[in-house]
Structure formats: structure tokens, C-alpha cells
């Protein structure tokens, strides 16, 4: 696991955007797994800047999003389809036919989930998956106790996640409790994983994920088993890490031949 600590969310997001841009330049038809929430907004802003100012080309890229609320239409302002459209899709040259987001309005959700998994497989699997982390350790919407081998399916949100995301809804009755999420097993098959976390509110979850025991009670901890997982943190989110100084030294002295 590589842990990159930057002074602020802006610089950490720039590091992430450079990694993604490098992948797209090397593999113009890359398959990206994308995330929503407050965390990746600066990352997407930097990718948009690179598209506008440096001609970063998304024309052949395919994207699969991690999750979506059940019962929200794509037009709903809190839906993740809407979020992705506003924060990335409408600003870059992604082909709409290659933007996949779970359909929270699907009539037969278990069947939809199987199809989503098949679509990921048909696309060749994710080259890189972007993740945030919940204060309860979730990745995607895989809440504590999620099977570490799980695939795309329905999950029920914890009280903690409901409270964390209440700000996106005008009243609690309108906040869905059920979601479709890629499974932990689905995420683990991505060739590379970039987990972003910012702010002191995430410090405990980050420390448990990187340095705690691997357990379904903290799903992000399974990334310790991923051969190419990178955590991109600001100082506040890194504050609980025991090996903080070591991670900083490693990154500051990373040999050129090891850069990615």
C-alpha cells in the first residue's frame, strides 16, 4: 500500500489527477471506476482543467460508477448520475454511451446488478478505481459487515452514513436508505485503486484502514490485500497514522524509476 500525504486536498487531488491522466495517455481506452461525495470534487475539477488546457482526451475512456441510491431518478439533484454529470461528464469529452452508473430506478434490481457486473467484465475490468472512505470505513456503499468477496448488490445504509449524507437531502423522509453498490470483491479486481480522504473527520477511518486489522467491520481495510492501492491524504486525514513520518519520507524520496 502506498500512502501519499500532501499538505492540503488541492495538492493531493492534483497528484491523483496526474496518475489518472498518465493512465489515459498510456491507455486511451482506459476503464475508470469513479466515486461521488465531497471528496473527489477537486480531483474532477483538475481533470476538467487538464482536458481544457492540456487536451486530456476522454473520447475513448469508459467509466463505471460505484453506487447509486435506490428510488432516485437520474434527474434528482441528489442522484449520483446527476452528481457525475454536473461535476465531470458535462465538462469533458466522455462518450455518454461509455458512462455507466447503477440504475436506482431499475425494476428488477438483482438482475440489474448482475448485468452491471457483466458490463464491467465486458469492458475488460477497471484499470483504476477512485474511492472515498466513509467515517464508518465503507468503500462504495459497502457498509461494515459487508462480505469482503461481495459483488454489485443492494445494501442498506448505516445510521452513520445516513447522518453523514443528510446534507444532500431537504428532509430525512426523502433520503433513501437503500442503495446499489459495487461489491468489495468488484472493487478489489480493479488493477489499481486510488483512495482519497481529506479532513480530520476521516483520520480515524484512514488509520484503521491502513494500519488496523483487515476486517469486514472496516471494509476499506481489505485494501491491504490489494497489490496496487494508493491512499491520497491531506495532513488532517493522515493525522492518526502511526507511520506518518515514514510514508512522507518514502514519497519525498521516491526514485524516478519508481514514479507512476
Binding segment for ligand PGA among 3-11, 24-32, 130-138, 151-159 (CB under 6 A)?
130-138
CA nearest to 21, candidates 65, 64, 55: 55
- Rounded CA-CA distance 17/24 in Å is 10
CB of 44 to ligand PGA, least distance (A): 12
Q: Does 133 bind ligand PGA (CB under 6 A)?
A: yes
Q: Is 39 in the site for ligand PGA (CB under 6 A)?
A: yes
Which is closer to ligand PGA, CB of 4 or CB of 140? 140
Backbone conformation region of residue 122, classed left if phi is above 0, alpha if psi is from -120 to 50, else beta? alpha
Closest CA to 43 of 69, 81, 73, 17: 17
What is the three-class DSSP state of 34?
A: strand
Of 56-64, 104-112, 113-121, 129-137, which part binds ligand PGA (CB under 6 A)?
129-137
Q: Binding-site residue total for ligand PGA (CB under 6 A)?
A: 6
Q: Which residue is nearest to ligand PGA (CB)?
A: 37
37 binds ligand PGA, rule: CB under 6 A: yes
CB 249 within 8 A of CB 19: no
Which residues are designated catalytic? Answer: 67, 136, 138, 143
Strand partners, 67: 181
Decide if residue 87 touches ligand PGA (CB under 6 A).
no
In the complex, the smallest distance separating the C-beta of residue 250 from ligand PGA, rounded to whole angstroms, is: 25
Give, to the nearest 10 degrees, the angle between helix 41-54 and helix 80-87: 40
134 binds ligand PGA (CB under 6 A): yes
Among 16, 33, 104, 132, binds ligand PGA (CB under 6 A): 132
Q: For the chain, where are the alpha helices, taking DSSP H only?
A: 9-26, 41-54, 80-87, 109-122, 159-165, 184-188, 203-211, 235-238, 244-252
Q: Looking at beta carbons only, is 111 or 201 nearer to ligand PGA? A: 201
By the criterion CB under 6 A, which residues form the site for ligand PGA?
Answer: 37-39, 132-134
Amino acid at each position: 500500500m502506498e500512502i501519499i500525504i500532501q499538505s492540503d486536498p488541492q495538492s493531493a487531488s492534483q497528484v491523483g489527477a496526474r496518475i489518472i491522466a498518465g493512465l489515459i495517455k498510456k491507455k486511451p481506452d482506459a476503464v475508470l471506476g469513479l466515486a461521488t461525495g465531497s471528496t473527489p470534487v477537486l480531483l474532477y475539477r483538475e481533470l476538467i482543467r487538464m482536458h481544457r488546457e492540456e487536451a486530456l482526451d476522454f473520447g475513448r475512456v469508459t467509466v463505471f460508477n460505484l453506487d447509486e441510491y435506490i428510488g432516485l431518478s437520474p434527474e434528482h439533484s441528489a442522484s449520483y448520475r446527476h452528481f457525475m454529470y454536473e461535476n465531470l461528464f458535462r465538462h469533458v469529452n466522455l462518450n455518454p454511451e461509455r458512462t455507466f452508473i447503477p440504475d436506482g430506478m431499475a425494476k428488477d434490481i438483482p438482475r440489474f446488478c448482475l448485468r452491471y457486473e457483466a458490463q464491467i467484465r465486458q469492458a475488460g475490468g477497471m484499470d483504476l478505481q477512485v474511492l472515498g472512505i466513509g467515517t464508518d470505513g465503507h468503500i462504495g456503499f459497502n457498509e461494515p459487515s459487508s462480505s469482503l468477496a461481495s459483488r454489485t448488490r443492494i445494501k442498506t445504509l448505516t445510521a452513520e452514513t445516513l447522518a453523514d449524507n443528510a446534507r444532500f437531502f431537504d428532509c430525512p423522509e426523502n433520503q433513501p436508505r437503500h442503495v446499489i453498490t459495487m461489491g468489495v470483491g468488484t472493487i478489489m479486481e480493479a488493477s489499481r485503486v486510488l483512495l482519497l480522504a481529506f479532513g480530520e473527520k476521516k483520520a480515524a477511518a484512514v488509520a484503521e484502514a491502513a494500519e488496523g486489522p483487515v476486517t469486514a467491520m472496516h471494509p476499506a481495510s481489505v485494501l491491504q490485500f490489494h497489490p496496487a492501492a494508493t491512499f491520497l491524504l491531506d495532513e488532517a486525514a493522515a493525522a492518526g497514522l502511526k507511520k506518518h513520518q515514514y510514508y512522507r519520507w518514502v514519497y519525498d524520496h521516491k526514485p524516478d524509476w519508481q514514479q507512476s
